[in-house]
Structure formats: C-alpha cells, structure tokens
Amino acid sequence: MRSDISLKQIAAASGLSVSTVSRVLREQPGTSAAARRAVAVALGTLGVRHGDEAARSGTVIAVVHAAPLAGDVDPFESLYLEIVERIFALGWVAVRIQTGPDLASAAEVLESFGVAGAVVLGGGSAGPEAQRLAAHGVPVIRVSNARHEGFAQLVLDSGEGIRTAVRHLIHLGHRRIGLVVPEDSAASTRVSAFRRAMADVLHIPATRDQAPVVVAGPGILAGSQAADELLEAQCSAAISCAPAITFGFLESTRRLRLAVPQDFSLLTVGDMPDAEVIHPPMSQVTFDWAALAEAALRELERLMRADGAGADGSGAGGSGGGAAGAGGGRTPQLPDYRVSPELVLRASERAIGRR
C-alpha cells in the first residue's frame, strides 16, 4: 500500500485537474458523477483505504518535512513512516508535503483542500511552513530536536541522547571521544550537552582538544570528512547525530582500512535507517518511533477537536499558534512534551580493552 499521496498525484491518477480533485474531495457542488468515480478509483489505485470516506469526514492529515538535500538522508524517515501507517490505521488520508528553498509553499492549497491538521517533522524549511499553516488556521503539532515557541510540540531530547551515548562509551573505557553534529537548530544544544557530559564524567575541562566536535554539512561526503578529522585527532570512538554522518564514518573507516568496532567504536544518536541490517549493525541512542507517532496524532486530534469547537463558537480557537478564542476566552494550553531516548546496543562499539 502506498504510504503517502499528494493532491497532484491524485489528479494525475484520475486524469482530472487539481482543482477538480479538490472540489470532489471536499464534496463541493458542481462535480460530476464521472469525476467522483475517477477520484475514487485513483485513491484506490494509490493504495488509500477508505480514502473517499476519510476525505468526506474532513480527516486529511498533512505530514510536512524538509526535503533532504542532495546526498543527504532524511533523519525523520522512520518517524514519517510510522505516522503515515497510523494515519491509515485510523481510516484517514495522509498527504506528504516536502519543503525546501526551491519548493513553493503548500499552505494555501492544503487549506483549500480541507486538510484537518498537520504534523510537521524537524526544522529547517519545515519551520516556516508550520508558521504558514498555523496562520491559515490549520492545527499543527511539531516533532523536532529543538523547541519552537507557540506550537504544540514533542521535543526529542537530543541533549539527553548525547549524555547517554557519552556515559556508555566512557563505561567501555573510551576517553578520546569525538562528536559530529549536523548544522541545524539543535547543533548548539548537542555540543553543549556533549562537553558537559565529558566534563562531568571524566572530570576534565572538556576543551576543544579534549572533547573534539565537528559540525558537518549535509551529505555522506561531509560525514566522511568529519570522520577524517576525528580520526586525525586520535579519537577511539565517536558519536554521530545524523544518518548521512554515520554512513560517512563507515565510508571513511573502510577507506582507511579500519574496522568498526575492532579499530574504532561508533554510536549514533537519533534515527538510523536499517540500523540492524547494515554492517556492522549500528548501536543507537534512539526513540520509540511507533509510540512517538501515536502520541503526535493523539495530541493533533485533540487540537483538531478544539479547533472544531472554536469554529462552532463553543470553545477557544485552536490553530497551531494557539490563538485565543472569541469573546476573550483564555488561550488554550498547548501540549509541550520532551521525549527521552533509549539505548539500543548492537555491534558497532566495543570496550577499549578489547581493541
């Protein structure tokens, strides 16, 4: 079954225009029986279960995230797939929206499409799109590595993930540990958590020399270059905070004829696609993506109900920006949760005494 659809895909599959598809899905007058049938067939072809019923109920959910840059790996892909699977299990329709500097905003189209809510993953170009959706009155919940004021959100505690990784590697006997982080909104939080953890556990000043850090650009090549820097700094272990960085490390160690974990220990923080089947199976500090997807949609559904009540004049208005309701009602409390990761051990790190 397809895990995502877009309005353009439905239009292409049905042979209709985007505007006609939008009118059919919103049950606006003036659409023909043939057009309605074409849309129903297109949804079935795209693998949407009960898509017509879901669209009629208005339960169309946008899942928004930044398009990976060339050569990069989407750090939220596992969470995206879990969210879409959960959306379909609820009998709803998922529309995937990718954002980027060269991509036009979909906020107005989604509003006209009758989207009921949006889950926005990560930061970068997805952040401004979240603002635009909220401005159009669409309930929004954000899931990312950093806090964003004025939104319902689930914040992945990247700082705790770094601390967990540091404690584990030090427990294995490593003292020369490096960190590589992507250049994003959570970079400073991760670097600060790393240096504090190194200082607290090893009782050292954790200077740049004692706790080396590399901030890497997008792509596997940047990850490989970062790995070269840490290997030159005589690190025995490293913590990677993005899939492309991890793949870059594996590429660099192979090129230098170093084996992971025999010659170098590597631990990832966050998502790592197929971590259990790559060589070596990658140990991670990661999150329960299925539970996170369920929590995000549960909170979004509450926002959608509050938004509907506000539209009926029976409650406070409920966009992602948390505007106060009509008549001077109090601003509703937006959900704001911090999610802690868990350590999953596989085969990419080893006690330094066994190296």
Residue 273 has pLDDT above 50, yes or no: yes
- pLDDT per position as a tens digit, 98-114: 999 888 898 988 887 78
Between helix 77-89 and helix 289-311 the angle, nearest 10°, is 60
Q: What is the reported pLDDT for 280?
A: 96
Do residues 83 and 51 both lie within one domain? no
Name the residue among 212, 164, 170, 213 with its Cα closest to residue 352: 170
What CATH code is carried by the domain that includes residue 64?
3.40.50.2300
Whether residue 187 sits in one domain with residue 118: no
What confidence score (pLDDT) does residue 26 get? 72
DSSP string, 9-73: HHHHHHTS-HHHHHHHHTT-TT--HHHHHHHHHHHHHTT-TTHHHHHHHT-EEEEEEEPPPTT--
Do 147 and 183 fall within a single domain?
Answer: no
Q: How far apart are CA 68 and CA 217, in angstroms?
A: 12
pLDDT of residue 241: 94
**Is pLDDT of 217 > 70?**
yes
Q: How many CA atoms lie within 13 A of 77 on its CB side?
A: 14
Q: Provide the CATH number for the domain around residue 52.
A: 1.10.260
- Its pTM stands at 0.76
Q: How far apart are CA 199 and CA 196, in angstroms?
A: 5
One domain, residues 34 and 78: no
Lowest-pLDDT range of 18-32, 34-48, 149-163: 34-48
Assess whether pLDDT exceeds 60 at residue 1. Answer: no
Confidence of residue 54 (pLDDT cuts 50, 70, 90): very low
Mean pLDDT along residues 323-331: 42
pLDDT band at 13 (very low <50, low <70, confident <90, very high): confident
Residue 264: name the closest of 168, 342, 193, 176 by CA: 176
The DSSP letter of residue 287 is -
263-301 exposure pattern, b = at least 16 Cβ within 10 A, e = fewer: ebbbbbbbbbbebeeeebebbbbbbebeebbebbbebbb
Residue 311 lies in a domain: no
Name the residue among 64, 16, 55 with its Cα closest to residue 38: 16
The burial of 32, by beta-carbon neighbours within 10 Å (0-12 exposed, 13-18 middle, 19 or more buried), is given as exposed
Q: Is the pLDDT of residue 52 over 60?
A: no
Same domain, residue pair 169 and 247: yes
d(CA 327, CA 88): 37
Tokens representing 248 are 């870059």
* Mean pLDDT value of segment 82-93: 87
Residues 113 and 195 in one domain: no
185, 128: one domain:
no
Instruction: Classify residue 324: in a domain, yes or no.
Output: no
Q: Does residue 326 or residue 111 have the better pLDDT?
A: 111
Average pLDDT, the chain: 85
Instruction: Assess whether 123 and 138 both reside in one domain.
Output: yes
Q: Identify whether residues 162 and 253 lie together within a single domain.
A: yes
Indicate if the pLDDT at residue 169 is higher than 90. Answer: yes
Residue 251 has pLDDT above 90, yes or no: yes
| Boundaries of domain holding 119 | 60-156+290-304
More confident site: 148 or 323: 148
Whether 137 is covered by a domain: the verdict is yes
Domain count, the chain: 3
Provide the b/e sequence for 192-203 (b: ≥16 CB within 10 Å).
Answer: ebbbbbbeeeee
Question: What is the identity of the amino acid at 195?
Answer: R
Q: Within 13 Å of residue 257, how many CA atoms lie on the same side as its CB? A: 0
